[in-house]
Structure 1
Amino acid sequence: MIRIVLLALVYSALFVAALLLAYEVRFDFLIPESYRDQRWWALLYVLPLKLLALFCFGQFRGLLSFFRVPDLNRTFAALFLCSLIFFAIRIFPAPGLVDIPRGIILADLLFSTVGLVGFRMVLRIYREKKGAGPREKHQRHRVVVIGAGSTGAALAADLLARPQLGLHPVVFLDDDPEKKGRQIHGVPIWGNPEQLEDAAERFSATRIVIAVPTLQARRIREILKTAGNVGLETVIVPSLHELSSGRIRVEEMRRVEVEDLLGRESVPIKVDLIRKIVEGQTVLVTGAGGSIGSELVRQLATLSPKKLLLIDAAENALFEIVEEMREGFPGVDLESWVLDYREWAITRRILETQPPSVIFHAAAYKHVPLMESQPREAVLNNFLGTYQLSKLAIEFGVERFVLISTDKAINPTSVMGCSKRMAEIALQSLQRESQNTKFLAVRFGNVLGSSGSVIPTFRRQIARGGPVTVTHPEVTRYFMTISEAVGLVLQAASLGEGGEIFLLEMGDPIKIIDLARQMIQLSGYEPETEIEIEITGLRPGEKLFEELNYDTETSDETNHPRIRRLQCLSARTERFEEWIAELEKDLLTLSREELKKKIAERVPEYQPFVE
C-alpha cells in the first residue's frame, strides 16, 4: 500500500508539471489572465483520471526498473485514453469541468508520456549500473550469437542490459546473406555459422550461444563440432516447444543436450482432426503419470475436452501431472485415481458413471530385462489387462480405444515385446465383434528421456565418473521426442477406422555407442580416456536392432507424412477366448519357461529367452 501511495505522489508530480508546462508552451510562456486559474481547476479532474487510467493499465503493479516496449505501450494507451476523454469534455461540456484548449491537451499528452517514460528509464539505467558494479568483479565472456533473428536480438539486448552476467555479445552469425554487414544493438552481423572458427579468432570469443529455437539437429551437430575444434563452450536457447514466455530471457539458456542432437525437423499436426474426437468429450488416460501418459494429458488439455480422467498406480507420478494441470490448465475439468487399472470393480465403476468417448491406454510394463524375470506380470498387465479393459470399452460404448504399442512387438525376443504383440492381436480380435468401438494400436520406438530409458541411465553413469555401459557395440535403437511421439499418437487416433495398427516414422536408427560418446562429450569429457565405455553384452530378451513392422506387412500412406497404416498379418484369433481362459488358469502354476512357451502358441514368431 505504501508503494502505491508513493507512486501516486511521484506520478501526480509528473502530471502537474506536464500540464503546467503544456499551458506555458501553448501561450509562449505568457499565459493570459483568463487561463491562469483554469489550469489549477483542470488539475482537479485531470490528475485523478490519469492516475485511475494508469492503475487500470497495470502501471502500479509492475517492477519500475524493468521497462520494455509492452510497458511503453500500456503507458501510452492509458494517457491517450485520458486525452480522448478531455476532447470529449470539450465537445460535450460537463458542469463544473474546465474546457481545456486542444493544443494544451496534445502538449500535455506529449509531456506526460515523456515524463513517465523518462522516469522509468532512469530507474532502469540505475538498476543496470548498480547491478553491474565494478567491471573487474565480473569475468567477461565474449559471446558469438548464432542467429540474428528476433530470438537472437532479444537475447543480445538482455545480455547488453545485464553486464553483471558476464556475457557480452561481440558478433552475430546468421545464414541470411542479406543481413551480413548490418548491426543489432551495435553488434555486427559478420557472416554465416560456417565461419565460426574465423569469427571466434577475430573477435576473441570465449563462448557460443545458439539463438535459433527451430534449428535442426544436423546444424546443431555441425556447430558443436566446430566449437569443439576451437575449444569454446556452447549453450542454446530452448526450443519453441519449451518456450512459455513471450520473450527470451537469459536464464532460459542451457547447455546443449543430447535431445537437441537427436531431434529432427517438426511436421505440423493437423489439430482440427484431433479436436473433432476430443473437444467436448470425456477422455480417459491410463498410465497418466508415465512419460507418454503425462504428455498425452498435457496435449489433450489444450484441445478443450469436457473432462479428463487419469488413472495411474504410481502415486507420486500421478500427483505431479495433476498439480501441473491445475496450475497450467485450471479450466480443465479433471479427476484422477491412484489405481491399478486391473482393479476391475473400481475401473468398471469409473466407466459406468463417467463413460469416456476415448481411452488412451498407456499403462504398461516396459522394461525388457525386468520383465524377463517376471513374465507373469508382463502378461497380466500388458496383455490380459488390455484385453479386459477393451471388453469394458465395448460394454460402455467407448468410441475409440487407442493402445500405445512398441517396436519390440515385432519378431519379439522378449516377453515384454511378446505381451504387447498379444495386446495388438487382442484388439484385432475384439474389433471383429465390436460395432461401435474403434480399436487401434500405435507402434513406435524409444522416446528421448523417458523414465528408465538409456539417456537418463547414461547421465547418471557420467555424473559418477563412469563407466558408461553399452550392451553391444553394434546395437541400434530408434528415437523420437516425447512431444512428437504423443502428437503423432493423437493424430493417428483421429485417423483410425477400427482394427488398424499405425506405425510412426521414426527416422534413422541410432547406434547406442555413438549416443554414449556424444553424451560424454556434451558433459565436457573425452570418451574412452576420461570416461570409459564398457561393453557388457546383450541382456536377456534384448535384440541388436529393433524392427517397426514384419517383413510380410505392408503399409499405406495416411494424410500425415510420419504416420503409416499397416496392412497387418492375419492374427491367430481362433478359439481366442478359450485360450485366454486357459492362460489365466495356468498363470499361477506355470514356470517362467513354460509360460513363455504358452504365449508363443499365439505369437509363433516369438523367440523366448530360456535359461
Structure 2
Amino acid sequence: MRSKIVSSIKALLKAQMLPDFSIRTLVIFIMYGIMIVASFFSAYLLRFDFNFKILGEYNPIGFLFVVLAVKYFYLLIFGQFKGLMTFFHIPDVIKIFWVMMFSAVTLLALNYFLFFNAGVPIIPRGVILSDMLLSMVIFGSARIVMRMYRERSMVEKGATHSPKRVMIIGAGDIGTSLAADLIARKNLGILPVLFLDDDPQKWGKQIMGIEVAPLEGNMSNFVSGFKIDRAIIASVRFSGQRISKIISALHKIGIETSIVPSYHDLASGRVKASLLRDVDIEDVLGREPVKLDDLAIDKMIQGKIVMVTGAGGSIGRELCRQIASKSPELLIMVDHCEVQLFQVEQEILDYEFGAKIKPLVGNVADEARMEAVISKYRPNIIFHAAAHKHVPMMESQPGEALKNNTLGTWILAGVASRNNVEKFLLISTDKAVNPTNVMGASKRLAEKAIQAMQSRPGNKTIFVAVRFGNVLGSSGSVIPTFKKQISHGGPVTVTHPEVTRYFMTIPEAVGLVLQCAAQAYGGEIFVLNMGEPVKVIDLARQLIRLSGLEPDVDIQIKIIGLRPGEKLYEEIQHKNESLVDTPNPRIYGFVSEMPSYGEVEKIISDIKKNVDTKSVNELKRFIFTVVPEYKAQFYD
C-alpha cells in the first residue's frame, strides 16, 4: 500500500508539477530564493523594530533552510516554476496566496512540534506570520513589475503605427473586459474610444475613461465625431435580428465590424482581443442563449461512461466536446473514419478537460464490433449520431442509407438493450417527418426502431430520439457551399426562391440534445424549437453582405431548381403525433402509438433481404410499404 502511495505521488509530481530543467528554471529558482530570504529577514527586523543584534541572539540561519525547503515545495506544488513570469492575472494571485498560506501553516507546525521538542529555540510566531504577508507582497510585486515591463516593451515595438480607433457595442461585463484587454495590449494597435449601450443609466458616464453613448444614436455622428475606424460587437444579449440591424447600419457608413466569440466559447473564460473574429452568419441568425438545466446534465454525465457514435462528424464532435467538459469517467468516441476520429481526439486533448477518452474505429452496422465495444466498456449512455445525411447522394443509393441509418440504429440499439445501457439517444432529423427523400425515410425507420426497442422483452434501457433541422457550420450545411461560391466571385446557387429551412448553431443544438437526454423517460421523440424558418435565398443575401459585397450587384444569385428528394419546407410533427409539454420551452415532446417490437423486427428482416438485391426504384417502393407517408421520387 505504501509503495502505491509513493508511486502515485511521484507520477503526480512528474505529470503536473515538475518543470523541464532549463536555464530559465534555474533563474526562476535563484530569483525565488532571493525573495524568500529577503522576506524572511525583513520579517525578523520588523518583528524586533530593526534591532540587528536580535539576529545574533536567535540565529535564524538554520531555520532559513527549512523556510526555503517548505516554500520551494509549495511553489512546485502550485506550478510556479512552469508559468510565464511576465503573465500575471487573478488566478496567479490566488496561487501565490495559497503557497504562502500553506507554507506558514507548515512552518508553524514544524516550529512547535519539531524544534520545540528538540530543544531548538522557537522562532517567534509573529515572524512567521509577518513573513507570510511580506512574501505575498514581494512575490506579487515582482510579478506585476515583470508584467509592466513586458507590456511597455510591446508598446515600444508597436509604437511606429497609429492605433485603430474602435467603438465597442455593449458596455457590460464582456465589453468592459475586452476594453481592458485592448488597453493593456497596446501593441495590437487597437484603441477603444467609445462604448455604445442600450442601458440609459450608463449614457453620458465613463468606463475606464471611455464615454458611453446610446446604441440607438446616430451612428454616422459617432463615427465622424470620434474618428472611428472599426466597431466591435461585445454582447451575447443581442438577438440575431438586432446584430443584423447593427451591421447593416455600420455597413452603410463604411465601418467594418468584428464580434466577440459566441456564448458557448465565452463560457470557458475571460474575453480577450485575440478571440475577436469577423461577424458570421451564425451571429446574424442566432437567438438568445439557450437556458439549460446544467445541474441535471452534469448529474447525468459526471462519473459516467458515455459513448458517442459518429464522433468525427459535426454533431458528434460537439457532443464529445461538451460531454468531455462535464467530467465523465470515460468518453468512448466511435467513428468509421480513422482520420476524423484522430482529429476529434486531438481536439479534445487540446482543450485539456482532463476527461479520459477512448477513440475506437468501428461501423455501427457491424454487430460483432458493437457487441465487443459495449460489453467491454459498459457505457451508461449512448449518443447515436452516426448517419448518412447527404440527401441527393442517398437518393441514388437507398441501400446504403438503409444499411447505415436504419440497420445500424437497430443493431446498436439491440446491443445497448441486451447490455442494459441506461440511456440511448438517437440524433434524428426534421426530414424524417413526411419524408420526400430516402435519407429522411431511413431516419424515420430509425425512429421506429428505437421506439420498438423500448418495448423489447426484458429491456431496461431508456430510448429517445431528438429531431432537429439544419445546423449552421456542419459538414452538410449549405453555408460552406455559399462561402466557397462567394470567394470565387459567384454565382451563389439556390434551388428555389421559396425554399425555407430551420437553422440552429451546433453548440446550441448539442446543448439541447443533452437536455433531452437528461429529461427522457423512454419512447419520446423530442423536437428542438429552432425558431422561425429562414428563406435560403435570404440566407445567401446575408452571407454576401457579410462578405462586404452586395447581392445581385457584386455577386449574382442563380436559381437552379429543386434537387431530387428536396422539399420546399421542412416539418417538425407527424400527423399521428401529439404534442406534450416539457420543462424547457425550447424543446417540444411528441408522443404517438409506438410500433411493436415484432412489427419492426419484421421490417428489419425484410430490409436485410432486399438491401443488396433490389434496384433503386424497387427499394424506394419497399420503403413506401413500411413508411406510408414517404413520397418517393423514382428514376426513369
Q: Which residue of 1 aligns with 2:424?
A: 401
1:529 paired to 2:553: yes
Aligned residues: 607
Which of 513, 517, 523 does residue 493 from structure 1 map onto?
517
> Residues 98-149 of structure 1: CA distance to partner in whole angstroms, max 9, x if unpaired?
85695x8888777766655554444333322322236662141101112223
**Does the C-alpha gap of structure 1 residues 363 and 65 become closer, same or farther in structure 2, counting only changes over 3 Å?**
closer
1:382 CA displacement: 1.5
Structure 1 residues 572-581 or 497-506, which shifts more? 572-581
Aligned counterparts of 1:25 and 1:391: Cα–Cα separation in 2: 75
Residue type matched to 1:294 in 2?
R
Aligned counterparts of 2:132 and 2:380: Cα–Cα separation in 1: 57
**Does the C-alpha gap of structure 1 residues 488 and 161 become closer, same or farther in structure 2, counting only changes over 3 Å?**
closer
Structure 2: where are the runs of 5+ without partners? 1-21
1:155 CA displacement: 1.9
Q: Which residue of 1 aligns with 2:9?
A: none
Structure 1 residues 336-345 or 505-514, which shifts more? 336-345
Structure 1 residues 10-19 or 531-540, which shifts more? 10-19
Q: Which residue of 1 aligns with 2:15?
A: none
Which of 442, 449, 463 does residue 426 from structure 1 map onto?
449
1:420 CA displacement: 1.2
Aligned counterparts of 2:46 and 2:308: Cα–Cα separation in 1: 69
Which of 474, 478, 481 does residue 450 from structure 1 map onto?
474
1:567 paired to 2:562: no
1:543 CA displacement: 0.7
1:416 CA displacement: 0.8
Q: How does 1:30-179 map to 2 (within 5 A)?
A: 34-35=53-54, 37=56, 41-42=59-60, 45=63, 49=67, 53=71, 55-56=75-76, 58-75=79-96, 78=99, 116-133=139-156, 137-179=160-202
1:24 CA displacement: 8.0
1:219 CA displacement: 3.0
1:365 CA displacement: 0.8
Aligned counterparts of 2:433 and 2:134: Cα–Cα separation in 1: 74
Q: Is the 8 A contact 1:42 1:97 kept in 2?
A: no
Secondary structure in structure 2 of the residue aligned to 1:323:
helix
**Does the C-alpha gap of structure 1 residues 425 and 127 become closer, same or farther in structure 2, counting only changes over 3 Å?**
closer
Q: Is the 8 A contact 2:363 2:369 kept in 1?
A: no
Aligned counterparts of 1:430 and 1:496: Cα–Cα separation in 2: 15
Q: Is the 8 A contact 1:500 1:565 kept in 2?
A: yes
1:442 CA displacement: 1.5
**Does the C-alpha gap of structure 1 residues 601 and 155 become closer, same or farther in structure 2, counting only changes over 3 Å?**
same
**Does the C-alpha gap of structure 1 residues 105 and 241 become closer, same or farther in structure 2, counting only changes over 3 Å?**
same
**Does the C-alpha gap of structure 1 residues 73 and 550 become closer, same or farther in structure 2, counting only changes over 3 Å?**
closer
1:67 CA displacement: 3.0
TM-score normalized by the length of structure 2? 0.84
1:251 CA displacement: 0.9
1:544 paired to 2:565: no
1:498 CA displacement: 2.9
Q: Is the 8 A contact 1:283 1:356 kept in 2?
A: yes
Q: Is the 8 A contact 1:15 1:47 kept in 2?
A: no
Secondary structure in structure 2 of the residue aligned to 1:550:
coil
> Residues 441-487 of structure 1: CA distance to partner in whole angstroms, max 9, x if unpaired?
21111111111211122222222222221111111100112222222
**Does the C-alpha gap of structure 1 residues 64 and 183 become closer, same or farther in structure 2, counting only changes over 3 Å?**
farther
Which of 213, 227, 230 does residue 253 from structure 2 map onto?
230
Task: Using the aligned pairs only, state the percent identity.
Answer: 45
1:472 paired to 2:496: yes
Secondary structure in structure 2 of the residue aligned to 1:137:
coil
Aligned counterparts of 2:299 and 2:112: Cα–Cα separation in 1: 53
Which of 286, 294, 300 does residue 263 from structure 1 map onto?
286
Aligned counterparts of 2:602 and 2:125: Cα–Cα separation in 1: 94
**Does the C-alpha gap of structure 1 residues 37 and 509 become closer, same or farther in structure 2, counting only changes over 3 Å?**
same
Residue type matched to 1:261 in 2?
V
Aligned counterparts of 2:331 and 2:47: Cα–Cα separation in 1: 64
Q: Which residue of 1 aligns with 2:397?
A: 374
Aligned counterparts of 1:61 and 1:428: Cα–Cα separation in 2: 53
**Does the C-alpha gap of structure 1 residues 131 and 381 become closer, same or farther in structure 2, counting only changes over 3 Å?**
same
Q: Is the 8 A contact 2:67 2:107 kept in 1?
A: no
TM-score normalized by the length of structure 1? 0.87
1:319 CA displacement: 1.5
**Does the C-alpha gap of structure 1 residues 118 and 372 become closer, same or farther in structure 2, counting only changes over 3 Å?**
same
Aligned counterparts of 1:21 and 1:331: Cα–Cα separation in 2: 42
Q: Is the 8 A contact 2:456 2:597 kept in 1?
A: no
**Does the C-alpha gap of structure 1 residues 203 and 389 become closer, same or farther in structure 2, counting only changes over 3 Å?**
same
Aligned counterparts of 2:352 and 2:601: Cα–Cα separation in 1: 42
Q: Which residue of 2 aligns with 1:604?
A: 628
1:84 CA displacement: 7.5
Secondary structure in structure 2 of the residue aligned to 1:451:
coil
1:209 CA displacement: 1.6
Secondary structure in structure 2 of the residue aligned to 1:514:
helix
Structure 1 residues 508-517 or 277-286, which shifts more? 277-286
Aligned counterparts of 1:108 and 1:392: Cα–Cα separation in 2: 64
**Does the C-alpha gap of structure 1 residues 12 and 6 become closer, same or farther in structure 2, counting only changes over 3 Å?**
same
Aligned counterparts of 2:372 and 2:420: Cα–Cα separation in 1: 14
**Does the C-alpha gap of structure 1 residues 76 and 607 become closer, same or farther in structure 2, counting only changes over 3 Å?**
closer
Q: Is the 8 A contact 1:65 1:124 kept in 2?
A: yes
Which of 494, 501, 504 does residue 528 from structure 2 map onto?
504
Aligned counterparts of 1:72 and 1:439: Cα–Cα separation in 2: 48
Structure 1 residues 110-119 or 583-592, which shifts more? 110-119
1:13 CA displacement: 5.4
Secondary structure in structure 2 of the residue aligned to 1:487:
helix
Which of 484, 491, 499 does residue 460 from structure 1 map onto?
484
Which of 193, 197, 201 does residue 224 from structure 2 map onto?
201
Which of 321, 324, 339 does residue 298 from structure 1 map onto?
321
1:167 CA displacement: 0.1
Residue type matched to 1:49 in 2?
V
Q: Is the 8 A contact 1:236 1:254 kept in 2?
A: yes
Structure 1 residues 361-370 or 115-124, which shifts more? 115-124
Q: Is the 8 A contact 2:470 2:502 kept in 1?
A: yes
